[in-house]
Structure 1
Amino acid sequence: MTQIAKLERRQLSSLCLVISGVVFVAIWFTRETPLLALALSAVGIVSWAYVELRRYIANLWLRRALKALPYFMPVMVVGIDLQGTLLGIAVGIALGATLLALQSKNLRIALDRRLLGLMPRPTRTEAFTESMFFLLPSVAQEYFHRQAWLYVLILQTGVWPWVAVLFTSIMFSVEHLVGGGGHTTPSLINLTRWFGMGVLLATAVLLTGQIWPAIICHAMVNAPAAIQPHLRGKL
């Protein structure tokens, strides 16, 4: 990377840090207008994704945890409800197991110990932080998309539930494909995949009245990627 490119990245990071701070304060002052506050939260998530925390924080674990912070900005507006039942847990496990079964062939390759053993072995800190990258979203993204947004759209603005499901699923799929937090190759197939998952999880939340089916299913789907770093370099 050239010096100019590095300077541009630092400037972008600094700008996004300021934007994120302004958004956080703005959400507090707009908390009586939930829809506006949530829209500001979405801006905060995008800007925060471009902030290079390693410039300010040395601890890898803390940096990874802080990356999920903007998803919980709506707590100031709508609070958080983590109540659950055995039914919700069972639905989450069933959905997660079904999605994993549908991609069993790919999972066998992704978790092949012989292939992973040939890769460089990460340090414990590196392995743990990479696992956090895949597991934290199971709580953070589900709260933001499947609780905060669904709550505001349906109960606060009176939007028809299935319109809310489609809207939040579009946001969820786009988030995975673009922006600083995008970690999936942009394509129609991947867009369809994430959109379908968004619809499935939002539907589960609406039908059960709790967020746990979405959290558990999301965590199970991401679990193979979270396990990978702990198997690398171990023949």
Structure 2
Amino acid sequence: MTNDERGDEPLPPKRPRRRAPSVGPAFVAFVVAVALTLTTQLVAGMAIGVWYVVTGGNAKRLAADLPDLLADTPIFVALNLVNQLALLATAIAAARIAPVRPRGGLGFVRPALTAWGYPVLAIGSLVPLAVGVAGAEAVSLVAPPDETFGRAFEKVTPVAAVPFVLFIALVPGLIEEAFFRGYVQRRLLARWPAWAAIATTAGLFGLIHIYPANIVFAFLVGLWLGAVAWRTGSVWPAVLCHASINAASSVWNLGTRFGVIPADPPNSAMGIGGVLALVCFLASVRLLARDPSKRAPEAAQEAG
């Protein structure tokens, strides 16, 4: 007896199951980003060298003078901006051409996070910052550190300090998170367990920083940023944490250099700051461990 004879309605056709995105494009995008960044650095370095000679510089001293030249504030900012734009272009292109895209594109969706969670995450990120600095310092004992940032901070003038800090905080904070936590990690999460996706993304994030101490620092901080992006379902909180880490580090370096912050702060001030950061970090961990619907019911379905 057929369905019509029984009077039954025909069963609706089964909706084809959406295939999870492949992880391969994430690694291809990383290789492309590294190649593009190195190429832009090489071209920019050659242009700076030509400019140096044309403007009267001694060609024989170019190699010796180049490190200080690259640390000059306008040149340093311009080179880093070019690198960041190359990273952003790779992220956008990879997300657009993928035949199967992860939900949310680059992750700029509404996070499952209440309003009070933002400052807690920002302050709590000082703990991963301290862990990253400790790891970098340990590696620096056995491997030469990158002196580029040190030279760049030494050349920043008081007038340029605020724009410099804003650039270091906002531009890498936004663009690096768009690429790593927004594109790479979300694509890996579609196939892999969360711990594997976060650790792998943090490893790639570390590798792009080249120097051993920088790699360790970026890897340790990247684990925290990856967890934040994963648990909130959005890249925005990770952008905030990344910007907070970069801003705190830059303010400390420039503040001690200009004498605004004591090079050896009072123990009481360090203790209060440390306790505040630790309390916010523990509150952040507890917040991220909660169910998304309890973190922000109105955003729970949009994030992810």
TM category, shorter: 0.5 to 0.7
CA drift at 1:121 = 6.5
In structure 2, the residue matched to 1:34 is 25
Q: Does the Cα contact within 8 Å between 2:132 and 2:216 map onto a contact in 1? A: no
Identify the residue that residue 148 of structure 1 maps to in structure 2.
183
Q: Which digits, 9 at most, give the CA deviation of each residue in 1:174-211, with x for residues without a partner?
A: 223x2xxx5xxx34xx6544322211211111111011
- Provide the identity percentage: 21
Alignment-derived partner of residue 35 in structure 2: 43
Q: Which amino acid aligns with 1:77?
A: A
Q: Of the two, which has the highest radius of gyration? A: 2
Asked if 1 retains the 8 angstrom alpha-carbon contact of 2:128 and 2:221, the reply is no
Task: Work out which of the residue numbers 79, 93, 98 in structure 2 matches 1:76.
Answer: 93
The question of whether the paired residues in 1 share the 8 Å contact of 2:131 and 2:220 is answered with no
C-alpha contact (below 8 Å) 1:154/1:161 kept by paired residues? yes
C-alpha distance 215-71 of structure 1, shift in aligned 2 (>3 A) = same
SS in 2 for 1:68: helix
Unmatched tracts of structure 1, length 5 or more: 1-32, 105-118
Q: Cα–Cα, structure 1 residues 120 and 49, in superposed 2: closer, same or farther, change >3 Å?
A: closer
Residue 97 of structure 1 and its aligned partner are, at CA, apart by 4.2
Q: Pick the aligned partner of 1:198 from 217, 222, 239.
A: 222
Alpha-carbon distance change, 194 to 215 in structure 1, aligned in 2, over 3 angstroms: same
Counterpart of 2:203 in structure 1 is: 170
Q: How many residues align?
A: 179
Deviations 1:148-188 (CA, angstroms, capped at 9, x unpaired) = 10122232xx2333221111111122223x2xxx5xxx34x
Q: Identify the residue that residue 52 of structure 1 maps to in structure 2.
A: 44
Aligned-partner Cα distance in 2 for 1:195–1:218: 13
Change (3 A) 1:160 1:234: closer
Please report the TM-score for the alignment, with normalisation by the length of structure 1. 0.58
Q: State whether residues 180 and 205 of structure 2, in contact with CA within 8 Å, keep that contact through their aligned partners in structure 1.
A: yes
Q: Name the CA distance, whole Å, in 2 between partners of 1:124 and 1:153.
A: 43
**Structure 2: where are the runs of 5+ without partners?**
1-23, 52-73, 96-104, 134-153, 261-304
Alignment check: 8 A CA contact 1:96 1:216 kept? no
* Residue equivalent to 1:136: 171
Counterpart CA distance in 2 for 1:132 and 1:67 is 13
Aligned partners of 1:173 and 1:198 also within 8 Å: yes
AA partner of residue 95 (structure 1): G
Aligned partner of 2:246 among 211, 222, 228: 222
